[in-house]
Amino acid sequence: MNKEYIIRNLKAILGRAYPRIIAANREYSWIIADIILPLLSVIAYGTLYKFLGASKDFLGFAVLGGAMSAFWLNVLWDMASQLYWEKMSGNLQLYILSPISLVSILLGMSIGGMFATSLRAAATLIVGTLIFKLDFSLINITQLLLVFFLTLAALYGLGMMLASLYLIWGREAWHLSEFFQEPVYLVSGMYFPVKFLGKVGFFSSLIPLTIGLDGLRQLLFKEGATFGFLSVNIEILILIILTVFYAILAIYYLKKMEYLARKEGKLTIRWE
């Protein structure tokens, strides 16, 4: 791996991150939709919990879940489905033939998506906090940052893996994204502590959002530890494992996809 190849890949990362950071924010209708739609769910759950007499911390669980849902939607629709849409628009062939790694292309998309979605998630969190007058109790800022960034790393690693699998399976990405969207809201405890799901929580821990959201709640609210699924240190360890695991799978399936495209002239597997 020479210096020129590294520079080309770094430029590719910047080139693919640019549309997500700059160009996406030029369409104001998208910004409004990305902020208002998650906020409607937050207000609905928050109003319900408030009517039932839940504490402010429990209201905060719903607000934080609504803010983090923006990342899950970004992974599904702007990451996992991305290569499928690139194929349909005719750009995928150019990516494969170009003298750069597909990992760089998806990594650039991930970085841009993280930044743009973070702004929208922050807006949801701020507005929800003002509406329900939440009280935060920051326990450990180092652990908080570690949990947050590890969650994003594992989550977008999962998105990179799914981006390749969508093509290798040869199925329509739209239907798969629709299938994974709503069930994850339930099993990850998006609007309630995953602890209430019991043993189901251990299986849903394969989704980084489940563990990450539980850890953030424990570190941001006084009652977070009471409703915590696992200890924060264990959740950090799980997130590190998930980050490495999904990164390895993403690279493997990207190599598989490149092999199918360059050696066999196809991007799907025919099951015998």
pLDDT confidence tier of residue 2, bands split at 50, 70 and 90: confident
DSSP SS3 for 113: helix
- Mean pLDDT over 84-92 rounds to 77
| Whole-number Å distance between alpha carbons of 20 and 258 | 24
Nearest partner of 218 among 143, 152, 154, judged by Cα: 143
pLDDT confidence tier of residue 53, bands split at 50, 70 and 90: confident
- The more confidently predicted of residues 165 and 234 is 234
Sorted by sequence, the CB contacts under 8 Å of residue 2 that are 6+ apart come out as none
Query: What is the DSSP secondary-structure string of 122-162?
Result: HHHHHHHHHHHT-------HHHHHHHHHHHHHHHHHHHHHH
| Whole-number Å distance between alpha carbons of 145 and 167 | 34
Which stretch, 86-95, 147-156, 163-172, 179-188, has highest mean pLDDT?
Answer: 147-156
Please give the pLDDT value at position 271.
43
Give the count of beta carbons closer than 10 Å to the beta carbon of residue 39.
Answer: 21
Rounded to 5 degrees, what angle do the CA atoms 109, 110, 113 make? 85
- The more confidently predicted of residues 266 and 235 is 235
176 near 122, Cβ under 8 Å?
no
Confidence (pTM) = 0.86
- How far is the CA of 11 from the CAs of 24, 86, 99, 154, in angstroms? 19, 19, 12, 23
Q: For residue 244, how far is the Cα from the chain centroid?
A: 15
Give alpha helix (H) positions in 23-132.
28-51, 56-74, 82-89, 92-97, 102-132
Give the count of beta carbons closer than 10 Å to the beta carbon of residue 35.
Answer: 17
116 near 27, Cβ under 8 Å?
no
- How far is the CA of 155 from the CAs of 77, 208, 252, in angstroms? 13, 6, 17
pLDDT digits (tens, 9 = 90+) for 235-261: 999 999 999 999 999 888 888 777 777
